[in-house]
Amino acid sequence: QVQLVESGGGMVQAGGSLQLACTTSIRTFSTYTVGWFRQAPGKGREFVATINWSGDMTSYADSVKGRWTISRDNAKNTVYLQMNSLKPEDTAVYYCAASVLRRGFPTTEYDYWGQGTQVTVSS
């Protein structure tokens, strides 16, 4: 059973920062594209950022571009989402997801999902 585990969520004031981490037991994790998504109360899930298997290609939603950075450490089987200049509208449950290499980059098809971590930004 493949598991993705998100951590690092919490409550922060507007303008603050948080770093989310997505870790996994997948031994071939270094070959996966990884994406971060979020779902705010009463809204659908939306794409936030994604990174390819080697970490040299990334893509961001316009709403977070310039504020957030996705990165990965394949030696630690971990992908990070550094979130700076947080806004109340960033409040959501954040999920990481992994896509097998054959789907290419970027992709809209993800094979594995984590359970999510809550991020709350107060004004």
pLDDT in tens, 89-117: 999 999 999 999 888 899 889 999 999 99
The contacts of residue 104 (CB under 8 Å, 6+ apart) are 33
pLDDT in tens, 50-95: 999 999 999 999 999 999 999 999 999 999 999 999 999 999 999 9
Angle (CA) 49-53-58 rounded to 5° is 30
Q: Which two tokens stand for residue 56?
A: 């040299």
